[in-house]
Amino acid sequence: MSDKQKGGLRARNRRRRMLTGVFSVIAVIYLLPVVVVLINAFKSNSFVKTQTFSLPTPESFVGVDNFVKGMTFGNYPFAKSVLYSAVITILSTALILLCTSMAAWYMARVNSRLCRNIYYLFVFSMVVPFQMVMFTLSKTADTVRLFGFWGPKLNTPWTIPIIYLGFGAGLAVFMFNGFVKSIPLEIEEAASIDGCGPIRTYFKVVFPMLRPTMISVGILEIMWIWNDYLLPYLVLDRNEYMTIPIHIQYLQGSYGAVDLGATMALILLSIIPVIVFYLLCQKHIIKGVAAGAVKG
């Protein structure tokens, strides 16, 4: 190896070490809120306020008392909030994946002027702030019924996925459309020659090949919907339906006093499923995003 090559190798190693240090600092900054929640979930309320960043001591440690207090506070069961959050997250994610993948496949294959304009509208919807439409949306959810003039209104855990479909469609269509364009058209033509119609072609041929992007979009949507506070707060009847973020927000006593220890405990319980799910599926995110960017 020549001196020039050795110098270039040393320079690359220095850059790598520098980037490793920078990204390590960024990772610590991102993990700090989770660590703060973790250590304060096991401390009494008074010590959470006065010794927020210190580790639990024999004097401040309360074991699982904060978890018990948080789950039994008030008249609304925490298990019920977990159930509603799970129902909303699962139904909304399934609806988004199915509808947006079919729409993206159709628009990518037809590729007419109308389809392109609709696709651009989907992409444009990603830059529209939720605050611009939230008051109109709240009124609409309290008025519009699932089947037009009859059926349940859109302000229940079983119908709010329709609203989530509207807000989550932009990113999902964008990612699915880019991936569909990378699929050779000859595969679908061969299926058509074998007698498959559009529906069978989608479910038998296209749907299995969408798996990497399907997993990526599913992870992103699950993390968003599970942690979402504002949309359920505006749409759902809070006396009857509470998701986990709303339940935590109502964890307060008289005169607005908040038990921070119990609050931290419930926050920890709410983020554990998402963190575990993300760690198990994180390798699919980069794969799906890269696959969807081939011909986006």
Instruction: Please give the share of the chain, as a percent, with pLDDT higher than 90.
Output: 26
Residue 186 confidence class, pLDDT cut points 50, 70, 90: confident
199 and 269 share one domain? yes
Residue 185 confidence class, pLDDT cut points 50, 70, 90: confident
56 and 83 share one domain? no
Looking at residue 62, its pLDDT comes to 86
| Residue from 215, 115, 226, 117 nearest 172 by CA | 215
83 and 187 share one domain? yes
16 and 153 share one domain? no
123 and 257 share one domain? yes
For the record, the structure tokens of 183 come out as: 């699929």
Element at 20 (helix H, strand E): helix 3-40
What separation in angstroms does the CA of 269 have from each of 146, 238, 287? 33, 21, 29
Q: How many domains, in total, are found in the chain?
A: 2
Question: Is the confidence at residue 178, as pLDDT, over 80?
Answer: yes
Q: Which of 27, 47, 66 is the last residue of a domain?
A: 66
Mean pLDDT, residues 243-272: 82
| Residue from 91, 122, 127, 96 nearest 216 by CA | 96
Residue 287 confidence class, pLDDT cut points 50, 70, 90: low
Average pLDDT of the chain is 85
Residue 142 CB neighbours (<10 A)? 13
Question: Between 211-227 and 260-292, two packed helices, what is the crossing angle to 10 degrees?
Answer: 160
Distance CA 263, CA 265 (A): 5
261 and 162 share one domain? yes
Question: Is the confidence at residue 291, as pLDDT, over 60?
Answer: no
Mean pLDDT, residues 229-243: 89
| Amino acid type, 140 | T
Q: Which residues of 245-263 are buried (b: 16+ CB within 10 A; e: fewer)?
A: bbbbeebeeeeeeebbbbb
Task: Look up the domain containing 105 and give its range.
Answer: 75-292
Looking at residue 296, its pLDDT comes to 43
94 and 218 share one domain? yes
Distance CA 77, CA 270 (A): 15
Distance CA 64, CA 2 (A): 63
Question: Is the confidence at residue 292, as pLDDT, over 70?
Answer: no
Residue 295 confidence class, pLDDT cut points 50, 70, 90: very low
Q: For residue range 64-123, list pLDDT tens digits in order.
A: 888 988 888 778 888 899 999 999 999 999 999 999 999 999 999 898 899 999 999 998
3 state DSSP class of 61: strand
Q: Which CATH number goes with the domain that contains 164?
A: 1.10.3720.10
Distance CA 122, CA 6 (A): 50
167 and 202 share one domain? yes
Q: For residue range 261-281, list pLDDT tens digits in order.
A: 888 999 999 988 888 888 887
Mean pLDDT, residues 141-170: 86
Please say whether the beta carbons of 202 and 188 come within 8 A. Answer: no
Q: Which range, 114-123, 180-189, 194-203, 246-255, has the best average confidence (pLDDT)?
A: 114-123
Question: Is the confidence at residue 20, as pLDDT, over 50?
Answer: yes
Q: Which of 66, 84, 115 is the last residue of a domain?
A: 66
12 and 61 share one domain? yes
Looking at residue 253, its pLDDT comes to 57
Residue 244 confidence class, pLDDT cut points 50, 70, 90: very high
What's this model's pTM, rounded to 2 decimal places?
A: 0.85
Q: Which of 16, 36, 66 is the last residue of a domain?
A: 66
